[in-house]
Amino acid sequence: MPDTALSQALQDAYASAPSNLIILHTLELRHPAFVDELGQTTAIRVVRDTANLDARLEASAALNGGEMVRFVAMDFELDLPPVDTLPMPEITVTLDNVSREIVRHLDAAAESQAVIEVTHRPYLSTDLEGPQMDPPIHLVLTEVEADIFRITGRARMLDVGNKSFPGTSYTAKTFPGLTR
Protein backbone atom coordinates (compact mmCIF):
# COMPACT_ATOMS: atom_id res chain seq x y z
CA MET A 1 0.00 0.00 0.00
CA PRO A 2 1.58 3.33 -1.01
CA ASP A 3 2.35 5.96 1.59
CA THR A 4 0.18 8.96 0.69
CA ALA A 5 2.40 11.32 2.73
CA LEU A 6 5.28 10.81 0.27
CA SER A 7 5.45 13.00 -2.82
CA GLN A 8 5.24 11.30 -6.20
CA ALA A 9 8.84 12.38 -6.91
CA LEU A 10 10.08 10.67 -3.73
CA GLN A 11 8.09 7.52 -4.50
CA ASP A 12 9.67 7.46 -7.96
CA ALA A 13 13.14 7.98 -6.46
CA TYR A 14 12.65 5.06 -4.05
CA ALA A 15 11.33 2.85 -6.86
CA SER A 16 13.93 3.59 -9.55
CA ALA A 17 17.01 4.82 -7.59
CA PRO A 18 18.33 7.14 -10.31
CA SER A 19 22.08 7.79 -10.10
CA ASN A 20 21.69 11.57 -10.45
CA LEU A 21 19.30 11.94 -7.50
CA ILE A 22 20.09 11.78 -3.79
CA ILE A 23 17.49 11.41 -1.04
CA LEU A 24 18.64 13.66 1.80
CA HIS A 25 17.30 12.62 5.20
CA THR A 26 17.11 15.38 7.81
CA LEU A 27 16.31 15.53 11.50
CA GLU A 28 15.14 18.52 13.50
CA LEU A 29 15.23 18.41 17.32
CA ARG A 30 13.18 21.02 19.20
CA HIS A 31 12.88 21.88 22.88
CA PRO A 32 11.98 25.12 24.73
CA ALA A 33 15.45 25.09 26.36
CA PHE A 34 17.24 25.17 22.98
CA VAL A 35 18.20 28.84 22.69
CA ASP A 36 20.85 30.58 20.61
CA GLU A 37 23.34 33.26 21.68
CA LEU A 38 20.63 35.93 21.37
CA GLY A 39 18.21 34.06 23.63
CA GLN A 40 15.91 33.08 20.73
CA THR A 41 14.37 29.59 20.59
CA THR A 42 16.22 27.49 18.05
CA ALA A 43 16.35 23.91 16.79
CA ILE A 44 19.09 21.39 16.14
CA ARG A 45 18.92 20.56 12.43
CA VAL A 46 21.12 17.89 10.84
CA VAL A 47 21.29 16.25 7.42
CA ARG A 48 22.75 12.82 6.69
CA ASP A 49 25.26 13.98 4.11
CA THR A 50 28.84 15.25 3.79
CA ALA A 51 27.84 18.88 3.13
CA ASN A 52 25.53 21.31 4.89
CA LEU A 53 22.10 21.72 3.33
CA ASP A 54 20.04 24.88 2.90
CA ALA A 55 16.42 23.86 2.32
CA ARG A 56 12.93 25.27 2.80
CA LEU A 57 10.73 23.96 5.61
CA GLU A 58 7.04 23.25 5.15
CA ALA A 59 4.74 26.15 6.01
CA SER A 60 3.33 24.29 9.03
CA ALA A 61 6.75 23.74 10.68
CA ALA A 62 6.89 24.49 14.41
CA LEU A 63 9.90 26.81 14.00
CA ASN A 64 10.74 28.90 10.92
CA GLY A 65 7.79 27.59 8.90
CA GLY A 66 8.20 28.21 5.16
CA GLU A 67 11.72 29.61 5.58
CA MET A 68 15.05 28.47 4.15
CA VAL A 69 17.08 26.97 7.01
CA ARG A 70 20.48 25.30 7.33
CA PHE A 71 20.84 21.62 8.18
CA VAL A 72 24.35 20.79 9.41
CA ALA A 73 26.05 17.75 7.87
CA MET A 74 26.25 14.98 10.46
CA ASP A 75 26.15 11.23 10.42
CA PHE A 76 23.04 9.83 12.04
CA GLU A 77 21.08 6.62 12.00
CA LEU A 78 17.37 5.90 12.14
CA ASP A 79 16.58 2.30 13.00
CA LEU A 80 12.96 1.79 12.08
CA PRO A 81 10.86 -0.44 14.35
CA PRO A 82 10.12 -4.02 13.38
CA VAL A 83 6.66 -4.95 12.20
CA ASP A 84 5.15 -5.88 15.54
CA THR A 85 2.02 -5.57 17.61
CA LEU A 86 3.51 -2.96 19.94
CA PRO A 87 0.97 -0.27 20.79
CA MET A 88 3.58 2.49 20.34
CA PRO A 89 6.29 1.76 17.77
CA GLU A 90 9.71 3.15 18.61
CA ILE A 91 12.76 3.97 16.56
CA THR A 92 16.34 4.43 17.65
CA VAL A 93 18.03 7.70 16.69
CA THR A 94 21.82 7.90 16.88
CA LEU A 95 23.85 11.06 16.22
CA ASP A 96 27.60 10.48 15.73
CA ASN A 97 30.41 12.96 16.44
CA VAL A 98 28.14 15.48 18.13
CA SER A 99 29.34 19.02 18.68
CA ARG A 100 29.62 20.80 22.01
CA GLU A 101 26.68 22.99 20.99
CA ILE A 102 24.39 19.97 20.66
CA VAL A 103 25.56 18.59 24.02
CA ARG A 104 24.96 22.03 25.60
CA HIS A 105 21.39 22.08 24.25
CA LEU A 106 20.69 18.53 25.45
CA ASP A 107 22.08 19.35 28.91
CA ALA A 108 19.69 22.30 29.11
CA ALA A 109 16.80 20.06 28.03
CA ALA A 110 17.66 17.48 30.70
CA GLU A 111 16.87 20.07 33.38
CA SER A 112 13.35 20.59 32.03
CA GLN A 113 10.15 18.56 32.15
CA ALA A 114 9.30 19.34 28.50
CA VAL A 115 9.87 16.67 25.86
CA ILE A 116 12.31 16.87 22.96
CA GLU A 117 10.39 16.76 19.68
CA VAL A 118 11.98 15.22 16.60
CA THR A 119 10.90 15.78 13.00
CA HIS A 120 12.19 13.64 10.11
CA ARG A 121 12.02 15.24 6.66
CA PRO A 122 13.31 13.71 3.41
CA TYR A 123 14.42 16.07 0.64
CA LEU A 124 15.48 15.37 -2.93
CA SER A 125 18.81 16.82 -4.06
CA THR A 126 17.00 18.31 -7.09
CA ASP A 127 14.21 19.99 -5.09
CA LEU A 128 15.06 21.83 -1.87
CA GLU A 129 11.93 24.00 -1.90
CA GLY A 130 10.19 21.74 0.59
CA PRO A 131 10.29 18.29 2.14
CA GLN A 132 9.08 15.39 0.03
CA MET A 133 6.79 14.14 2.81
CA ASP A 134 3.69 16.02 3.88
CA PRO A 135 3.22 15.92 6.76
CA PRO A 136 6.71 14.99 7.95
CA ILE A 137 7.12 12.41 10.70
CA HIS A 138 6.92 13.93 14.20
CA LEU A 139 8.29 11.94 17.14
CA VAL A 140 9.07 12.46 20.84
CA LEU A 141 12.62 11.64 21.98
CA THR A 142 13.00 9.68 25.20
CA GLU A 143 15.71 7.73 27.00
CA VAL A 144 18.62 9.81 25.71
CA GLU A 145 22.12 8.50 26.40
CA ALA A 146 25.32 10.36 25.53
CA ASP A 147 29.01 9.56 25.53
CA ILE A 148 32.00 11.28 23.97
CA PHE A 149 31.32 9.76 20.56
CA ARG A 150 27.56 9.67 20.08
CA ILE A 151 24.10 10.42 21.38
CA THR A 152 21.45 7.72 21.24
CA GLY A 153 17.78 8.09 22.02
CA ARG A 154 14.50 6.29 21.58
CA ALA A 155 11.83 8.14 19.64
CA ARG A 156 8.16 7.30 19.50
CA MET A 157 5.00 8.72 18.06
CA LEU A 158 3.00 11.02 20.30
CA ASP A 159 1.31 8.96 23.01
CA VAL A 160 -2.32 9.80 22.27
CA GLY A 161 -3.52 7.16 24.72
CA ASN A 162 -2.22 9.22 27.65
CA LYS A 163 -3.45 12.62 26.48
CA SER A 164 -6.20 14.22 28.47
CA PHE A 165 -9.61 14.56 26.90
CA PRO A 166 -11.09 17.01 26.01
CA GLY A 167 -7.62 18.56 26.28
CA THR A 168 -8.65 21.40 28.57
CA SER A 169 -7.56 21.49 32.20
CA TYR A 170 -10.13 23.17 34.36
CA THR A 171 -8.04 25.06 36.92
CA ALA A 172 -8.81 28.00 39.19
CA LYS A 173 -6.34 30.10 37.22
CA THR A 174 -8.03 29.62 33.84
CA PHE A 175 -11.57 29.36 35.25
CA PRO A 176 -11.78 31.68 38.29
CA GLY A 177 -15.43 30.77 38.86
CA LEU A 178 -14.29 27.40 40.22
CA THR A 179 -13.04 29.01 43.45
CA ARG A 180 -15.16 30.49 46.19
Q: What is the DSSP string of 26-42?
A: EEEEEEEEEE-TTS-EE
**pLDDT of the residue at 86:** 60
Decide: 67 and 42 in contact? Cβ < 8 Å. Answer: no
Cα dihedral 98/104/110/113 (nearest 10):
-120
pLDDT tens over the chain, length 180 residues: 456 777 888 888 878 888 888 999 999 999 998 888 888 889 999 999 999 999 999 999 989 999 999 999 999 988 765 555 666 667 888 888 887 888 888 888 888 888 889 998 999 999 999 999 888 888 888 888 887 788 888 888 765 555 555 667 777 787 788 776
**pLDDT of the residue at 141:** 86
pTM score, whole prediction: 0.78
**pLDDT of the residue at 2:** 54
**pLDDT of the residue at 129:** 93
Distance from C-alpha of 5 to C-alpha of 61, rounded to nearest angstrom: 15
**pLDDT of the residue at 1:** 41
